[in-house]
Structure 1
Amino acid sequence: MSGTFDGYGGRHVPDPLEAPLEQLAATYDDLRDDDDFRADLDLFLRDFAGRPTPLYYAERLSAEYGAEIYLKREDLLHGGAHKINNALGQGLLAHHAGKDRLIAETGAGQHGTATAMVGALLGLDTEIYMGEKDIERQKMNVFRMRLMGAEVNEVTRGDAGLADAVDAALEDFAANVEDTHYLVGSVVGPDPFPRMVRDFQRVIGDEAREQFRERTGGLPDAAVACVGGGSNAMGLFDAFRDDDVEFHGAEGGGEGAASKRHAAPLAAGEDGVIHGMKTRVIDDDVEVHSVSAGLDYPGVGPEHAMFRAVGRAEYTGIPDDEALAAFRDLAEYEGIIPALESSHGLALAKRLAEAGEHDTLLVNLSGRGDKDMEQAAERFDLG
């Protein structure tokens, strides 16, 4: 089956979507190594997005956690997160394919914001699907999307979260395949989306690997990242795939390991099919929950499911309280406010450091915390 990862992934979709997805896969395979396409993408990544992003040694945090902590600063990108890497790649792909409309799903609003930016940049009509509860907790990003001309559609079905926004976007795509490109925000969905998004995000790992070698003369003991759908983690991991570097993914552990409210399909789910792919999914009797809207998804990218199955990566559910503590740690020790998603990766890095098995840890700081200020202010009493 096309686009499989040791049995995960594939293309589990209704018949009307088979031909458009096959056409998209062919277009991507033709363009991915095209010199003009790559030149355009590299130019926009540099001059619009702000690449390369720096590798930062967190000296005070390292002393506190007990290991050398290096941060890949995707939070410094235009828009505040890694999402712009993939949005630029897919936006240019849509432009080359003659599409004049972009649609996307979003949870925390960072992918929606990045899609709105690229829509404005390339002159493409843009519509974003976002769950009602995420619109409420990410008001600033909703305003940013609308400011850049995107239409934000509130999704009220089901749990009114990210999974429901994906459902709504897929329905739109099925009805409008002739003029519309569905700009999927993570390494999820039917082929070619998981491999395409991975490739557009690999710039994170390629830069980090070169920067780490220049800085230290070697490679980190482990690479750490948060995992919702999993694009920032896969973008980091893929560049180290053949190296002796451990991979650790931090999922949304919600209220704790014994809870029935979490967002950790890799650590505590089962195999299943969701949104056109075979992957790991959360059990039906679990309420999908994380303090972070961007991790609030009942599935995960199929390549992560494969990494787990073959033992290449280890995935851990991080409870809300640990993520919030790491959020505050980075602010207080380094003057950097991370996104709540990235805070899960930091919390996992703290666990690994305290276990004493790793001297150097590379953490992908996938986004900044501006969007989470209102929510964080409700959690912390700084009076």
Structure 2
Amino acid sequence: MRDVSTWREPVPPDGTMGEPRARGRFGEYGGRYAPESLVEACREVDEAFRDAWADPGFRGALARLLAVHAGRPTPLTPARRLSEALGVQLYLKREDLTHTGSHKINNVMGQALLATRMGRRRLIAETGAGQHGVATATAAALLGLEATVFMGERDIERQALNVFRMRMLGAEVVPVTTGSRTLKDATSEAMRHWVGATGDSHYCIGSVVGPDPYPWMVREFQRIIGDEARGQCAAELRTGVPDYVVACVGGGSHAAGTFAGFADTPARLVGVEAEGGAGAARGRLGVLHGCRSLFLQDDDGQITQAHSIAAGLDYPGVGPEHAHLRDLGRARYVTVTDDEAVGAAVRLARTEGIVPALESAHALAWVIGAADGGDLPAGSTVLMTLSGRGDKDVSTLKELL
């Protein structure tokens, strides 16, 4: 476990995670670095989202879908035995209990409704761990849309369960055989495919990456996590607000949604990256998949391959708003190794009866290490978003345990 950044005081004022500046900028990050053929498509998505997000009818329809189909609100679960062992009060925001088993459904339901509003009949998506692909296939089936999901060949092999689920739901799963055959390459292929399909298709990006308005739009669809947790903490905690808010970060969608609920509070925000995919930790300024952010690069500025045992963290960069939060000192970004994540997954299973996704286990590994190492003061209250359940990772864990 490695700490790679620190907080600066004081906490920035309200509005830190508000609407981006002109041209989709979060500080020096973000923007719309899209091919000319996609600039108009991004503009249409931007206009449609702004119109929909200001429409109480759209927001009400989304809230109803998330309640009756996705199972919101998700509970806040005290991890009692693990808290006692660590000497802190750990609460889990249970996104693993949503329909489809992860936070991805929040964003996808929003984008699928937006696509329908725009008259689009097909969703295009990329996926790494498969959870975004499953959520996309689910929303498409529910709303009568077609779905095409691009997935790296390597991820198809290690996430066979989710591939089956997508196909059972009626989605076309397209293997990507180029490059590292993981999430970065699946995203590149999905964007290339969108170039020729903007007339009838909506690209449903799964994280807070991509050209404007996607980083902002996806964060707003995921903000429900932080808003719910804020209210639940107010009712559950004596102080009303936790001392620490922790989430794993690949591109960083559920972390952005969680942080958005607490950005204007004294809570300390911690994003936990995979040691082999740490864009916020070791990335340099660059442009990939339509936005300017922090990416792993070689000396020639070429994007290098990421590695993580968790397919959803196997991405060589981080969303632009996370890069901005890092620069502000509002959020701290740390890294965790594969072995630490696996150990944390086992420990949660055996103390709380919860098998987490390996992505979420990275966040838990930091909490465990920080508590044991004294970085989390005794008695601290910690909110951690459990982004997904571990069913999809059973094959990987069986090989290691």
Counterpart of 2:317, as a letter, is G
* Stretches of structure 1 lacking an aligned partner (at least 5 in a row): 254-261
Counterpart of 2:316, as a letter, is P
Matched with 2:117 is: 96
> How far apart, CA to CA, are the structure 2 residues paired with 1:6 and 1:238?
16
Preserved contact between residue 180 and residue 305 of structure 2 (Cα < 8 Å): no
Equivalent position to 1:268, from 282, 299, 305: 282
TM-score, normalisation: structure 2: 0.91
> How far apart, CA to CA, are the structure 2 residues paired with 1:322 and 1:356?
17
Q: Deviations over 1:64-111 (max 9, x none)?
A: 222110000000000000000000000000000000010100000000
> How far apart, CA to CA, are the structure 1 residues paired with 2:324 and 2:371?
26
Counterpart of 1:235, as a letter, is G
Matched with 2:50 is: 29
Matched with 1:245 is: 267
Matches within 5 A, 1:288-367: 288-354=306-372, 355-358=374-377, 359-367=380-388
Matched with 1:43 is: 64
Matched with 1:108 is: 129
- Aligned-CA RMSD value: 0.9
More deviation, 214-223/48-57: 214-223
> How far apart, CA to CA, are the structure 2 residues paired with 1:269 and 1:148?
37
Matched with 1:372 is: 393
Matches within 5 A, 1:1-383: 1-217=22-238, 218-253=240-275, 262-284=276-298, 286-354=304-372, 355-358=374-377, 359-380=380-401
**Larger relative contact order (C-alpha < 8 A, sep ≥ 6)?**
2
Counterpart of 1:13, as a letter, is A
Counterpart of 1:243, as a letter, is T
SS of corresponding position for 1:288 = coil
Count of residue pairs the alignment pairs up: 372
User: 1:356 Cα shift?
Assistant: 4.7
User: 1:201 Cα shift?
Assistant: 0.3
The structure-2 alpha-carbon separation of the partners of 1:122 and 1:348, relative to structure 1 and needing over 3 Å to count, comes to same
User: 1:351 Cα shift?
Assistant: 2.4
Counterpart of 1:305, as a letter, is A
Matched with 2:14 is: none
> How far apart, CA to CA, are the structure 1 residues paired with 2:192 and 2:138?
23
TM-score, normalisation: structure 1: 0.96
> How far apart, CA to CA, are the structure 1 residues paired with 2:272 and 2:190?
26
Preserved contact between residue 223 and residue 258 of structure 2 (Cα < 8 Å): yes
Counterpart of 1:240, as a letter, is F
SS of corresponding position for 1:49 = coil
* Stretches of structure 2 lacking an aligned partner (at least 5 in a row): 1-21
Percent identity, please.
52
> How far apart, CA to CA, are the structure 1 residues paired with 2:124 and 2:118?
15
Counterpart of 2:105, as a letter, is I
